[in-house]
């Protein structure tokens, strides 16, 4: 099969032929239709996880995927050949990935059935970003009318946070730097746009002198955001480690994406119901994967998806 792989450390990723994997016990094989890029993928490609995770070369890159089950391993009873699925490759090593024609994944975590009416490109953009966004909004514990600032709103996670928070009744402030980004985020439900290339703190304080209730921190220096939150408010971060507190009068909640079946099911249901959508900025073919990585590194409005078939 064709796959976009990291051949070894300090070698640029490339599309090559590798063996088609066979599902082990408790696994299914997914015939990939589409897969989306996350920051984690660029970190792996750049060698940033050298020494942190086991690398089984050639490492097939990619975590998020959507496709159809075409083989079932022993002991699997809740999925069958032909099921439309989406999810995240959650294996404890780097080697099996979704930027390929096929991938094997365990059914216990990182896999869910793709609701009818959701196409594969959309499904491919749900996994990691959607799981992180759900975790962030859950941790925010929003009440109707509360003010929530999303820092890093233009990426895949930020797009989902804006939609979910607005749906929860929050007054969403989102960071952006261009008119295109402003229109995009407003369309997703942001009530206010703040230019993060200028003085973000001054702009937020000018509009909300008492501070916002919650900041969702997805990019940049979190310590610079403490003064923007009211006393007793909260900073939810995908970057600050769980347990670390940035200030005494503001609670800091570090979160991670948890793409378990329940979380993925919630994501699929929210999109199927029209409560949220996946903003796909651009698609690339598998042979164009290197260009897709370059486009992602240059900044995105939403997701970049690699289509396999």
Digit-coded pLDDT (tens) for 151-187: 999 999 999 999 999 999 999 999 999 999 999 999 9
**Statement: residue 278 has pLDDT above 90:** yes
Report the helix count and the strand count for the chain, using DSSP H and E: 8, 16
CA-CA distance, 120 to 66, in Å (whole number)? 5
Phi, psi of 85 (to 5 degrees): -140, 165
DSSP state of 155: B
Cis peptide before 58 (omega within 30 of 0): yes
Assign domain 2-126+278-307 one CATH number from 3.90.180.10, 1.10.3720.10, 3.40.190.10, 3.40.50.300.
3.90.180.10
- Binned at pLDDT 50, 70 and 90, residue 76 comes out as very high
The whole model's pTM is what? 0.94
Residue 287 CB contacts under 8 Å (≥ 6 apart), including other chains: 2, 15
Phi, psi of 2 (to 5 degrees): -85, 140
The string of pLDDT tens digits covering residues 235-259 is 999 999 999 999 999 999 999 999 9
- Dihedral sign computed on CA atoms, order 153, 159, 161, 167: positive
Residue 39: helix, strand or coil by DSSP? Answer: helix
Q: Are 89 and 103 in contact (CB under 8 A)?
A: yes
Question: Quick one: how far is CA 179 from the chain centroid?
Answer: 24
Tokens of 250: 């503001």
Inter-helix orientation angle 261-272/127-140, to 10°: 90
Number of other residues whose CB lies within 10 A of the CB of residue 33: 21
CATH code 3.40.50.720 for 129-254: yes
- Residue 234, phi-psi category: left (phi > 0), alpha (psi -120 to 50), beta (remainder): beta
- Residue 243 belongs to what H/E stretch? none
CA-CA distance, 276 to 36, in Å (whole number)? 17
Beta-sheet pairing, 84-88 with 111-113 = antiparallel
pLDDT at residue number 198? 86
**Structural domain spans, the chain:** 2-126+278-307, 129-254
pLDDT at residue number 90? 97
């Amino acid at each position: 099969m064709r796959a976009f792989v990291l051949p070894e450390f300090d070698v640029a990723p490339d599309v090559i032929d590798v063996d088609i994997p066979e599902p082990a016990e408790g696994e299914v094989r997914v015939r990939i239709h589409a897969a989306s890029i996350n920051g984690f993928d660029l970190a792996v490609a750049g060698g940033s996880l050298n020494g942190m995770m086991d690398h089984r070369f050639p490492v097939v890159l990619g975590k998020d995927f959507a496709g159809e089950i075409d083989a079932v391993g022993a002991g699997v009873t809740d999925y069958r050949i032909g099921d439309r699925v989406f999810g995240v490759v959650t294996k404890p090593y780097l080697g099996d990935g979704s930027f390929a024609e096929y991938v094997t994944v365990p059914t216990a975590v990182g896999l869910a059935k793709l609701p009818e009416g959701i196409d594969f490109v959309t499904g491919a953009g749900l996994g990691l970003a959607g799981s992180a966004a759900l975790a962030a909004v859950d941790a925010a514990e929003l009440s109707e009318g509360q003010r929530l600032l999303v820092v890093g709103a233009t990426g895949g996670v930020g797009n989902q946070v804006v939609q979910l928070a607005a749906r929860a009744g929050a007054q969403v402030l989102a960071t952006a730097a261009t008119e295109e980004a402003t229109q995009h985020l407003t369309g997703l439900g942001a009530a206010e746009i703040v230019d993060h290339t200028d003085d973000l703190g001054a702009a937020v304080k000018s509009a909300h002198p008492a501070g916002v209730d919650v900041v969702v921190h997805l990019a940049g220096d979190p310590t610079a955001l403490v003064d923007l939150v009211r006393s007793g408010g909260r900073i939810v971060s995908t970057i600050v480690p769980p347990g670390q507190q940035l200030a005494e009068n503001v609670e800091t909640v570090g979160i991670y994406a948890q793409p378990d079946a329940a979380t993925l099911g919630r994501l699929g249901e929210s999109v199927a119901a029209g409560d949220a959508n996946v903003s796909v900025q651009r698609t690339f073919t598998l042979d164009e994967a290197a260009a897709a990585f370059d486009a992602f590194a240059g900044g995105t409005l939403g997701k970049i998806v690699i289509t396999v078939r």
